[in-house]
Amino acid sequence: MSTSSAVPASLVRRRIARIPLGLLIPFAVVFVLFFLGPFLYALWLSFFVESGDKSVFVGLQNYVVAWQDTEFWTSFLRVAWYGVTAVVVMLVFGLGLSLLLDSPFARTKTLFRLVYFLPYAVPGVIAALMWGFLYSPQLNHLIGALSAFNGGHAVNLLSSGTLLYAIVNMAAWGGTGYTMTIYFASLTSIPVELYEAARLDGASEWQIARMIKIPMIRSTILMTVVLSLIGSLQLFNEPYVLKSITDVPWNYTPNLEIFNMAFTYGNFTYSATLSILLAVTTFILSLLFMLVTSETRTRRSKAPVVEAAAARPTTDHQGARPIQIGVDA
Amino acid sequence: MLSNTRGLGDIPISERARFLASSRKRRPGVRARRVAVAAAALLAAALVLAPAAAFAAPSSSSGGYPPNTFPATAPSTTITWWTFTANAKSQVAAFNKVYPNIHVDTPLVGSDYTKLTTVVKGGSGGPDVAEIEYEYLPKFIATGGILDISKYVDKYKNLFYPWTWTQVSQGSAVYGVPQDVGPTALTYQPAVFAKDGLTVPKTWAEFAADARVIHDKNPKQYITYVPLNDGAWWTMLYWQAGAVMFKNTSQGWQVDLNSSVVKKVTDYWAGLIKDGLVDPTQDWTPSWENSVGQGTYAAMAGATWTPDYMVHPFSNAATANAWRMTDFPQWSTGDPVGANVGGASNVVLKQSKHPAAAALFAAWIDGSQQGVTTRITSVDKGGQGMTAAASNSDLLPAFSAPSSALGGQDPSPVISKAAASVNPNYQWSPWSDYVFNEMTIEFTKAANGNETWNQALDNLQHNVSVFGASMGYTMAPAPSGQSSGSAESAPSPALWVVIGLAVLAIAAFIYRRRLTAES
C-alpha cells in the first residue's frame, strides 16, 4: 500500500489535522483540571445533603431551597447595583483621563499613564486593607475632621448605608487606571487622518473627542462595561477584608455567601449548589457578551453572500481589535 | 488572624485589637472577651514575664471548696489542647504540678473554628481537647466528631452550675466540661442616673421609663444601645424572658423564633428604638467604641465580662472610673431570672488516642480548686480572668477581688447571684452562626423601617427552618398557634435576577440584529 518514501495524502492530512488538537492539549488539561472538573464535582455535590457523617441523595431539593433563598438572590441584586455604580465611575474617569492623555496638550504621557495604572497593580487584598485604614476616623484625620459636619459624631464610612459605596470607591480607584489604559490603547489606533480632516473642517479638540474619538472606541467601551459588570458578580476580596473592621453580613455578595456556607456553616453541598447557580449566571452573561461583541463578519463568512463582508465599511473593523486587547489584558 | 496583624506595628493598640478581632466577628457573644483576651495576652507576654509561678500554688485557705475527688496520679502520656484563652500555659502549669507525667501541648491555633471543622470532617489531625463555645457545641456534636465523656466526667457534675451541665449534655451523653460563663448583669454609670434623679432600674419597665428621662434631659445621652448586628445579644434577652427558640424533639428540630415571648422582647426594644430613646447601632465598630468611651450610654445590658471587655478598653480618663455592675433588669418582680452570653466548654474529640487523660485534663482545669483559681485570677496577674462555670468558685479568695474596670468595686456578689439565676432551659441550635447572621440582616431591615419587627421575626422563623432542612436536619413543625413563618409575600428576588437576565438577553439580541442589519 505505502512505501517508505510516499506517505498517502490522506494520512498527511490526518496528521496535519492532529496538530491543532495537540496544541489544544495544554489548555484542555488545565481547563478540565481547574474548571470543568471542579464544576462537575460541585454539580454532583449539589444533589446531596450531608447529615452528620452520611450523604443523602436529594435530587434537586437544594435548588428548590436555593430558589427561596431570599438573601442569596438579594446579594445578586446588590452586586449588580455595585457593578453599575462602579462601572459608571470607572467609565467616566477612565475615559476622561484617556482623552486628556490623548489630547495634543498632554505632556509626559508615559509617566502619567504609569501613575494612573499603578493602583491596578496593587493586589485587591492589600488595597482593601489600606482603604480600611483610610476610612478609619482614628487613623485618617481627614475623615476625623468630617465629624464637624456630623454633629460631632464620628463619620463612619463603613456603616451599612455607605459600605457599598466605600467598596465602589476601592474598585474605582483600582479599575480606573485599567480602563484608561484600554481606552488609551484604543484611541492611539484611530487613524490620524480623521483628526486632520476634522481640524481642516474647523473642529475644536472637544468636538474631535466627542464626534470622533468616543464613537470610534464605542465597542471598546462596551466591552469594558460588560466585562466589569460580569466581574462584579465575583466580588469577594474587599468585603471579606472589610469584615475585620466593620460589620459585613456573610451574605453580602454571592461569593462571600458561598465561602461562608462551606467554611463557617459547614454546609458543603448547599455551598456547591449556590456555586453552580453563580457559575450558570456568569456563563449566561458571558454568552450575551460574546453575542454583543463578537465579530459579525465571522458569522457572515459562512453565509452565502460573501460580498457583504467585503463591502463592510472599514470603521466596523473596530469591533475586532478591542477583543484582542481584552484577551491580552 | 495572624496575617491581619502582621505589619501593624505602628498602629495604636486599640486599632490593632480591632484587627485581631477580625476572625471572630461572626461569633459576637464572646468575641468581646477574646478581643481583649488576645490584646491582654499580647500585653501579658510583653509586660509580665513570670506569671505562672505567682499564683499556681494551691491556695492554702480552701474556704469550703468541695474536697478534691480527682485521682492522685495518672499514667504518662502526651495530649494536645486547642484553646483561645489567655495564659493557657498557666493552666497547663497548674495541671502539671499535680500530674507531671501528662504532657500538654498548646499550639497556637487562634480562635477560628474553621480548622477544627476541617480536622473533625477529615477524621484526623485534631487535638485531644478543644475549647468550644456553648452556642457552637451542637454544630460540632452533630458532625459526630465529639466524644461522649460521661463515663469519665459524670462524677464531677456537682462541681458546676447545673445549667452549664445542661449546655454540654444531650440526654445522658456528656460532650464536654463547662469552662466559663457569662451570666447577665447590668453595667451602668451611677452618676448619670443620679444626675437625673433616678435609681438604677430593677425591671425592664423602669428601664424604659428611665430611658425617656435620660434622653429627654440630655438628647446626646442614651440609656443604652441596641446592637442590630449582635445575635448573641438578642438571644441573651430572649433567653432571659424564657424563650426556648430551638428544641431537639423526637420529631426533629423545632424552631420557635416568632413566639409570643420573643415578640414581647423584640417589641419592647423596637418601641424604644421607634421613640428614639436608645441608639440602634452595630457593636464592636469604631463609632460604637467611641460612644462607649465617651459615656454616651448610661448602661450596658451584657454579661459579667462586659466591664472588662466592652467598657474598660474604650474608656477615656473621664469615664474610666464611672462604671459599676449591678443586677440585670427583670420582667417581673420575684426570683431574679438571668441568661448566659459567652462562655465555652472543653471537649474531647473522638479521634483522641488518650480519651481518659484528655477527659481528666478537661475536668481538672475546669473543676479543681487550683484549675478554677487560675481561671478566675485576672489576666494581668497571670490567670485567665474569667467567670468560672464551677459553682463553688465564689468560695475562692481570688473571686472577690476589686475590679479596676469598675472603679474598685468588688463585683463578686453580683456575679454569684447572676450565675445562680441563669434560666436553665435554654438550648442552642446547630446553626448559631446562621441564626446570628440572619438576625443581623432582618433586624437591620426592621430598624430602618424596611419591614415591621414582626415580619423580621417571621422571616427569621422561615429562613432558619429552610436552612435547617437544607443542612439535612429533620425539622419538626413549629409549635401550634403560631404562624409557620412563611411570611415572604413578595416574590423571591430570584425572580428579579431571572427577569434581569431575560431583559439583558433581549437587549443583546436586539443589538445584535441591529449590527447585522447595519452591515
Q: Domains of chain A (ranges plus CATH)?
A: 60-328 (1.10.3720.10)
Of B117, B437, B473, the CB nearest to A250: B437
Q: Which among B68, B130, B59, B54 has a CA at the least distance from the CA of B99?
A: B68
Contact: A249, B440; criterion CB under 8 Å: yes
- Residues A114, A116, A117, A120: what is their CA dihedral angle, to the nearest 10 degrees? 150
User: And the C-alpha cell for A266?
Assistant: 459547614
Q: Give the tens place of pLDDT for each residue, A41-98.
A: 999 999 988 776 678 888 898 898 888 888 889 899 999 999 999 999 999 999 999 9
- With a cut of 80, say whether residue A306 has pLDDT above it: no
B132 touches chain A (CB under 8 A): no
In the block, residue with C-alpha cell 471598546: A220
B497 touches chain A (CB under 8 A): yes
How many C-beta neighbours within 10 Å does residue B317 have?
A: 6
CA–CA min distance A93, chain B (Å): 25
**What's the rounded Cα separation, in Å, for the pair A153 and B136?**
36
Chain A contact set for B18 (CB, 8 A): 244-245
Please, what's the b/e burial string for A72-83 (b: 16 or more CB within 10 A of its CB; e: otherwise)?
Answer: bbbbbebbbebb
How many C-beta neighbours within 10 Å does residue A24 have?
A: 11
Chain A contact set for B486 (CB, 8 A): none
CA–CA min distance B106, chain A (Å): 23
Tell me what pLDDT residue B236 has.
96
Q: Are B130 and B82 in contact (CB under 8 A)?
A: yes
User: And the C-alpha cell for A106?
Assistant: 498632554
A316 touches chain B (CB under 8 A): yes
Chain A contact set for B471 (CB, 8 A): 49-51, 265, 267, 270
**What's the rounded Cα separation, in Å, for the pair A118 and A173?**
10
Which residues does B96 contact at the CB level (< 8 Å), separation at least 6? Answer: B102, B103, B104
**What's the rounded Cα separation, in Å, for the pair B32 and A100?**
51
The H or E element that residue B80 is part of is strand B77-82
User: And the C-alpha cell for B125?
Assistant: 489531625
ipTM over 0.85: no
A215 touches chain B (CB under 8 A): no
CA–CA min distance B260, chain A (Å): 25
Distances (CA, A) of B169 to A180, A206, B70, B164: 62, 76, 21, 9
Tell me what pLDDT residue A40 has.
95
Query: What proportion of chain A, given as a percentage, has pLDDT over 70?
Result: 85
Amino acid at A88: V
Tell me what pLDDT residue A1 has.
47
Strand partners, B186: B301, B326
Of B117, B466, B496, the CB nearest to A68: B466
**Which of B451, B506, B519 to mutate to test binding with chain A, by most A CBs within 10 Å of its CB?**
B519
- Cα B231 to the chain's mean position, in Å? 9
Contact: B473, A51; criterion CB under 8 Å: yes
CA–CA min distance B151, chain A (Å): 23
CA–CA min distance B1, chain A (Å): 9
User: And the C-alpha cell for A275?
Assistant: 456555586
- Mean pLDDT, residues A133-162: 76
Q: Are B83 and B131 in contact (CB under 8 A)?
A: yes
**Which of A221, A244, A277, A312 to mutate to test binding with chain B, by most B CBs within 10 Å of its CB?**
A244
Tell me what pLDDT residue A154 has.
65
Reported residue count of chain B is: 519
**Chain A 246-285, CB below 8 Å of chain B: which residues?**
246-247, 249-251, 263-267, 270, 281, 284-285
* Residue pairs between chains A and B whose CB atoms are closer than 8 Å: 146
Give the E-state strand segments of B315-413 in sequence order: 324-326, 344-348, 387-388
Chain A contact set for B170 (CB, 8 A): none
Tell me what pLDDT residue A169 has.
92
Of B19, B444, B504, the CB nearest to A244: B19
B209 touches chain A (CB under 8 A): no
In which band, very low, low, confident or very high, does the pLDDT at A32 lie, cut at 50, 70 and 90? Answer: very high
**Which of A245, A282, A284 to mutate to test binding with chain B, by most B CBs within 10 Å of its CB?**
A245
How many helices (H) and strands (E) are present in chain B, helices listed first?
Answer: 21, 17
**Chain B 150-189, CB below 8 Å of chain A: which residues?**
none
Tell me what pLDDT residue B28 has.
34
Tell me what pLDDT residue A106 has.
80
Of B4, B143, B431, the CB nearest to A244: B4
Tell me what pLDDT residue B284 has.
85
Tell me what pLDDT residue B39 has.
46
All residue ranges of chain B with pLDDT < 50 are 1-61, 485, 487-488
**Chain B 252-311, CB below 8 Å of chain A: which residues?**
282, 284-287, 290
**What's the rounded Cα separation, in Å, for the pair B79 and B84?**
16
**What's the rounded Cα separation, in Å, for the pair B342 and A207?**
67
Give the E-state strand segments of B279-376 in sequence order: 279-281, 299-303, 324-326, 344-348
A162 touches chain B (CB under 8 A): no
Chain B contact set for A245 (CB, 8 A): 18-19, 22, 286
Chain A contact set for B518 (CB, 8 A): 316
Tell me what pLDDT residue A328 has.
36
**What's the rounded Cα separation, in Å, for the pair B415 and B182?**
9
Q: Are A180 and A198 in contact (CB under 8 A)?
A: no
**Which of B14, B116, B287, B475 to mutate to test binding with chain A, by most A CBs within 10 Å of its CB?**
B287
Q: Are B93 and B52 in contact (CB under 8 A)?
A: yes
CA–CA min distance B505, chain A (Å): 6
On the 0-12 / 13-18 / 19+ scale of CB atoms within 10 A, A22 is exposed
Contact: B144, A52; criterion CB under 8 Å: yes
Of B23, B493, B515, the CB nearest to A70: B493
The H or E element that residue B487 is part of is none
On the 0-12 / 13-18 / 19+ scale of CB atoms within 10 A, B197 is exposed
User: And the C-alpha cell for A103?
Assistant: 489630547
Q: For the whole model, what pTM was predicted? A: 0.75
- Mean pLDDT, residues A235-240: 90
Amino acid at B197: G
Chain A contact set for B508 (CB, 8 A): 288, 291-292
Tell me what pLDDT residue A157 has.
80
**Cα radius of gyration (chain B):** 25
Reported residue count of chain A is: 329
